Structure 1
Amino acid sequence: MSNIDKQTIRDLSDQNIAPSKILSYLSTQHGGKDKVSYNSKDVSNLIAMDNRKILGWDIETTLMHFQRKKDEDPEFFYALEADEDGCMKHLFWAEGRSRRAYLEFGDVIVFDTTYNTNMYSMPLAPFIGVNHHRQSIFFGMALLRSESTNNFCWLFETWLRAMYSKHPVAIITDQDPAMRIAIKTVFPNTIHRCCKWHIMRKAKENLSTLYRLKPMFQTELELVINCSKTLADFESSWAAMIEKFNLKDNNHLNLMYDKRSEWVPAYFRGIFFAEMSTNQRSESSNALLKLWVNSHTSIYKFVLKIEGMIETIWQHEVDEDIKSINETPSLWSRYQLEFDAREVYTRKVFKEFKELLKDSTLGIVIEKDRDALYEVRYCSSNRKWPESHLVSVEKSSGIFSCDCNGFEFEGLLCSHALKVMCNIGIEKLPSQYILKRWCKNANAEVKRPINDRSRDTGNSQALQTFRIAAFRPKFNHIVELASKDVRAFKLADKNIDELFISVVANSVRKVEPTFRVTNNK
């Protein structure tokens, strides 16, 4: 096996390409399989040998890599906790742009620990959000030795420190009891919701026989869970379903019901979840990670592959930014509402708004209280459509409130409110119903140069971090140059002393010197 072939194998393996496909590629490059003197097993052995070489200095190499990243990106953050023997217990890291993006899109977080993707079998714990294009975005990654309450507390506190102490509005997790306690401890004011995807996946495993024997039951169960408008609707529909299929003694259904306040959508209708309550984030992130990493990956190579994956995700965001700015989606109607939405929303969000506007053509509007209360009534017998919705209106202030809580839940006006708006002649889209996080310029702050952000007024932790990050490379460069020449050193020493005196004199708060000012007698 030539050195060139070995390097090609390593490069393709780093892209998570299987040994058999690597061999196929090399065979093509050499002009056929008969021209290659090694087989797929030899390729696997080379990869395994490289991984074994890394084992002895895996963590040290990873930390050195993180320090290089921090030198390049002053906002890069990483933290490690070791046990009494000096062995790594937990590792957390987050890119600077992820930290900045969190300030714009960190209202709702999905936290999951279901991925075992390295040779140490340490669960990966990504913090996942959603950006203005409805794309998944990662707000940091962690590797945990074990999933205990203390370990989760360390991770959440570390992550919160990295995210400038900004607590999320809501967090979605699995049903881990240790995680639940840690969230109550570290995020006491954050709404905690269990991921419906995990719960329905467990239901499919435990109710598979029931699904097979009673084919209509699964459909009925999903309708009860997803289409109950209020808590009363859910309670009555659940009871009717249990009685209809004679399932009052089913242990798993009883367990799901006992925990209903932790995951059933009806319990969270008035809380903003940015469309993160569905299974999309957990499912797509799980699939994405499987494409990039596997159970034989060392920590160092794992980190490199995660960086490659995240770089691809950032590029997708950039691509969508360009498309949203340069492309003009077609209009479905002549409503000014739709024109306004097209001007401000990203392509993906505008597409969803347009579908809501189309749905607003269904049903009829009945005025219950003149200029104040309207009923949107549907004649369809399909249970996916509730029979009616009530929309309250304050015309003078442009407030429209629907009992489905669609805007509160997803951040877009529901079809019922849009129908009433069109019915009573509201032309423009009220500004209070345009969330910045869904707009084309939502990530403008994330992309601002650090020097610009560091000049903003205020003394928040985030701004202090930006200012430190803006100064550090400048001072590092001065130190490096001044250390090479005695005249440059004396000049820098004198000017730094004078600069310190001036900064202290003009500082908002008194600063204690951390070094001796030589020319201040």
Structure 2
Amino acid sequence: MVNKGASSVIDDDDNHGQEHPYDTDPHEHLEFAPFVGKEFNTEDDAKEYYNNFAYRRGFSIRKGNHYISAKLKNVTMVQYVCSMEGFPNKPANQSAPEKEKTCTRTGCKARFKIRLQEGVWKVSVFEDIHNHPLVTSLAEKQSLRSHRKLDSEGKEYIRDMRAQDIKTANVHKFSGVRHGGTKNLKFKRKDAINEIASQNRKLVGTDVEATLVHFQKKQEKDPEFFYDVEVDDSGRVKNMFWVDGRARRAFQEFGDVVTFDTSYKTNKYSMPLAPFIGVNHHRMPIIFGIAMLRSEEKVSLIWLFQTWVKAMYCKEPRAIITNEDEDSAMRIAIKEAFPNIIHRCCQWHVLRKAGDHFGAIYSIKPGFEDELKRVINRSMTVSEFEKGWRDMVQNYDLGNNRHLKVMYEKRSEWVPAYFRGAFFADMSTTHISESSNSTLKLWTNNYSSMYQFVLQVEKIVEGVWANESDEDMANMKAVPELSSFHLIEKDAHQVYTSKVMSIFKGILKKTQLGEVNEVEKDALYEVAINDHPIIQNWIPETYMIKINKSEELVSCTCKRYEFEGLLCSHAIKVMHHVRMFHLPNRYIMKRWCKDANARTKRSNFERSMEFGSTPELEAIRFATLKPQVMSLLKMASKSSDAFNLLQGILDVAEQQMQEVADEQETLTREIDTSTRIPSQVILDPPISQCKEKRKQPQRFNLQSEAKKPRRCGTCGSNKGGHNSRTCPLKKVHGKKREDDDVDSEKGQDVESDGAYEYEDLSG
């Protein structure tokens, strides 16, 4: 098939004195065709013009030969030809089999030649006659090589879309929507993939450097932004921690209880993400800093805890909740770094692990699961828990169960009865951390670089602050809706946030349960709840409430206020009984009030004017003055007059400051070295090579980083250097030896050898 077009020649040496066998097609519209003598300012302009024409005609171009002038030492002639020009090269060895390929050369004579004359590029030859079919559909034109291109705007659009966790295939589709369909795009899905891959390749070897530069830019915008990096002996990143200024301020109000979780490891370095998470006055999660660790050894954890406390202006939490783990590295690190706080293991993880071991028992012994949860959660005192546990083990004949013994030995680390008197803001599990982890899994994958990982984590943090601001605004506009005639509810509406108020309404509703019995007038009362209108098979409960009406003091044996910060229904029921109708101020915890974060949202200048000297105030004042001082230094460096002027001002200021501050540090000190990029070059951490390890979040061995010998899946042995495929026992009908023990961690742990005695910790 022959496609006829226009042919015009000005160079005799290029025409070879022959006429073209194809006449001009009268039906072909060549409005945009170049012509001999057309001028262009640059070679690129000429190439772009011819390529645009080729797109309309339906063929692809490539650069042909060119000529370099010996006199001018530059290119003076360039020829562009059709991509089908020439013929395929024949293999040197005809006898060797050649892989079949689609023919891409047909000897097409179409060409476009330009020459440099007097500083202008002019068309000297233009031939538009093709001996192959031309592409007519837009969908096929975008596949032509010279027309598949991404401009700077398209590349930026692809990067922005991918940064929002939109898959590459969808990026291509969304781009097509903007241009009326993918058929109108000049790039294909593969080009978008290549663009994203090229961006990832730029981070190879400079991942940490890009991350630290990003932190430095963040610090310029937010003077309270804090980060620190620890490197190993080879100069590679070992641990990294960062936190924004708002989180540091929020910790001063809501940092009484935090959860710490290291179970999320999805990045190409398999470094665990370790966030410190608490709850704000809206009962919503708030992130108090994020770390990435190479390992979970005691040394690394202690470094992280000490760095975190430093970032929080040397303030420590009152309690910390971690995942339940048999390894002691976490416990030891917390004990050494925080000797004065309460450490609690996540109850949810303990019960989930118990479900893996007790699956058979739950089926064989009906009622055991409910009884286990009742003893754990409904025991108000340690002695009550001890008695309930003994009765449960005896009634269900589980005195020999191995895992039940392990749970009992660690009871003081996770059973609520041992923490009734400590404040935990009703955070008994690390579900909040896991919720953030599940969200992060949607934004990252096993091959995310550190820089990309940090950017995605920051999106989650920004979402946290946005949610808090939305709730603050909603609380300002909220109109109280009373569900009862209690004056206590009216008092609570004025101070508590909407989320806390919804919980408090549930507490008020429960005051209808039970009866009040006077034990000692105006001093001691008993609330007995013998039945429940909704819950069947209700187990009677009794609570003792101490009260002092004159001093507005009240306490209950359930210790809900001590644990959660809200008065329990039993205490409020007795308050109504003795005619105490208002909510005492001493039982309104500020962290649950609407204005709990008012100080957090104040400007740095307002907080700098506060009286006193604390690590927080010192850091805020330093951050507030730093931009102004740096501006003066830049102006003073422009000339000797400005330098001398500032020098004189500083001498006077230093003398006056010394008189005021005496032994205080001068405000002209350098910025803390922990918040600067280290002077030495920091290398990227080693990339994890084990794909199986990076598929799902896994735990590191907290005892050591040493590699343990892998056990054979058939015989269970870790000796001999064999595995399940080369195991000698596999040849014997694939059965294990009878004397091999079944790993209790993988199967159902019903019973173990020998009973165990219970140690009474109630005293």
TM tier relative to shorter chain: over 0.9
For the Cα contact (< 8 Å) 1:227–1:384, is it kept in 2? no
Residue number in structure 1 paired with 2:258: 109
Alignment partner of 1:448 is 2:602: yes
Q: Does residue 1:237 correspond to 2:361, yes or no?
A: no
The structure-2 alpha-carbon separation of the partners of 1:498 and 1:287, relative to structure 1 and needing over 3 Å to count, comes to: same
Q: Which amino acid aligns with 2:607?
A: R
Q: Which amino acid aligns with 1:223?
A: R
- Choose the corresponding residue for 1:177, options 313, 321, 328: 328
Q: Is the 8 A contact 2:530 2:539 kept in 1?
A: no
The whole-number CA distance in structure 2 between the counterparts of 1:359 and 1:139 is 35
Question: Are 2:531 and 2:538, in contact at CA under 8 Å, matched by a contact in 1?
Answer: no
Structure 2 counterpart of 1:329, one-letter code? P
Are residues 195 and 209 of structure 1, via their aligned partners in 2, closer, same or farther at CA, if it must alter by over 3 Å?
same
CA distance in 2, matches of 1:166, 1:409: 21
Cα separation, 1, equivalents of 2:539 and 2:167? 47
Whether contact under 8 Å (1:13, 1:19) holds in the other structure is: yes
Q: CA deviation at 1:285?
A: 2.4
Contact 1:81–1:91 (8 Å) recurs in 2: yes
Q: SS in structure 2 opposite 1:445?
A: coil
* 1:15-65 superposed Cα distances (whole Å, 9 cap, x missing partner): 223334434434544545666687767655543442232121110111111
2:543 to 376, 389, 397: 389
TM-score norm. by structure 2 comes to 0.65
Check the 8 A contact 1:116/1:122 in 2, yes or no. yes
Separation in structure 1 between the aligned mates of residue 255 and residue 665 of structure 2, nearest angstrom:
33
1:466 is matched with which residue?
620
Q: Please give the alpha-carbon distance, in whole angstroms, between the structure 2 residues aligned to 1:6 and 1:103.
A: 43
Residue 390 of structure 1 aligns to a residue whose secondary structure is strand
Quote the residue 2:108 is aligned against.
none
Alignment partner, residue 194 of structure 1: 345
- Aligned pair 1:259/2:413, yes or no? no
Correspondence for 1:379: 530
Q: 1:126 aligns with which of 275, 285, 288?
A: 275
Select which of 502, 510, 522 maps to 1:351: 502
Question: How far apart, CA to CA, are the structure 1 residues paired with 2:592 and 2:556?
Answer: 20
Tell me, what secondary structure is at the counterpart of 1:188? coil
Query: Is contact 1:197–1:282 with CA below 8 Å preserved after alignment?
Result: no
Give the corresponding residue for 1:66: 215
Match status 1:298 vs 2:485: no
Q: Which moved more, 1:131-140 or 1:497-506?
A: 497-506
Cα deviation for residue 393 of structure 1 reads 0.3
Give the corresponding residue for 2:299: 150
In the aligned structure 1, how far is the partner of 2:531 from the partner of 2:637? Answer: 80
Partner in structure 1 of residue 379 of structure 2: 228
Q: Which moved more, 1:233-242 or 1:32-41?
A: 32-41
CA contact (8 A) 1:292 1:309 kept: no
Specify whether residues 210 and 479 from structure 1 end up closer, same or farther in structure 2 by C-alpha distance, changes over 3 A only.
same
Partner of 1:206: 357
Which has the larger Rg?
2
Aligned to 2:60: none
Q: Structure 1, residues 221-275: CA drift from partner, whole Å, max 9, x if none?
A: 2222222222222222223333343333322222111111100111101100001
Residue 116 of structure 1 aligns to a residue in which SS?
coil
- CA–CA distance in 1 between the matches of 2:232 and 2:206? 17
**In the alignment, which residue of structure 2 is the partner of 1:413?**
567
CA contact under 8 A between 1:223 and 1:383: conserved in structure 2?
A: no
Q: SS where residue 496 of structure 1 aligns?
A: helix
Question: 1:115 Cα deviation (Å)?
Answer: 0.7
SS at match of 1:400: strand
**8 A contact 2:495–2:594 mirrored in 1:** yes
Cα 1:88–1:279, aligned 2, differ >3 Å: closer, same or farther? Answer: closer
Offset of 1:5 from its aligned partner? 4.4
Q: 1:344 offset after TM fit, Å?
A: 0.3
1:481 to 635, 649, 658: 635
Q: Cα distance, 1:363 vs. partner?
A: 1.0
The one-letter code matched in structure 2 to 1:272 is F
Report the AA paired with residue 489 of structure 1.
F
**Could you say what secondary structure the match of 2:442 adopts?**
helix
| Displacement after TM superposition at 1:384 (Å) | 6.5
Of 281-290 and 137-146, more deviation after overlay is shown by: 281-290
Matched, 1:425 2:573: no
Residue among 206, 221, 226 paired with 1:57: 206
Counterpart for residue 91 of structure 1: 240
| Equivalent residue letter for 2:150 | S
CA RMSD of aligned residues (A): 2.2
Question: SS at 1:91's partner residue?
Answer: strand
State the distance in 2 between where 1:253 and 1:23 align.
Answer: 55
Within the candidate set 520, 526, 548, 1:369 is matched to: 520
The 1:333/1:306 distance shift into structure 2, 3 A limit, reads same
- Tell me how many residue pairs correspond in the alignment: 515
Query: Deviation at 1:199?
Result: 1.6
Measured against aligned partners, the alpha-carbon deviations of 1:339-391 in whole angstroms (never above 9, x if no partner) come to 01000001100111111001111111111110111111112175776511111
TM-score (norm 1): 0.93
2:657–2:666: 8 Å Cα contact kept in structure 1?
A: no
Contact 1:365-1:377 within 8 A present in 2 as well: yes
Aligned to 1:391, the other structure's residue is in SS state strand
Match in the other structure for 2:653? 499
Give the letter for the 2:377 counterpart: N
Cα distance change on mapping 1:321 and 1:513 into 2, 3 Å: closer
In structure 2, relative to structure 1, the CA distance for the partners of 1:356 and 1:384 (3 Å cut) is farther
Shift of 1:432: 0.4
Q: Distance in 1 between matches of 2:564 and 2:442?
A: 30
1:168 equivalenced with 2:317 (yes/no): yes
Distance 2:289 2:538 in 1: 37
Could you say what secondary structure the match of 1:371 adopts?
Answer: coil
- For structure 1, the residue ranges without an aligned partner over 5 or more in a row are 516-521
- Cα distance change of structure 1 residues 180 and 511 upon mapping to structure 2, 3 Å threshold: closer
After superposition, the Cα gap between the structure-2 partners of 1:96 and 1:511, relative to the gap in structure 1 and judged at 3 Å, is closer
1:117–1:366 Cα change, 3 Å = same
- Equivalent residue, structure 1, for 2:684: none
The counterpart of 2:429, out of the listed 278, 302, 306, is: 278
More helix by share: 1
Q: Which runs of 5+ in 2 are unaligned?
A: 1-148, 670-763
Where 1:203 maps in the other structure, the secondary structure is: helix
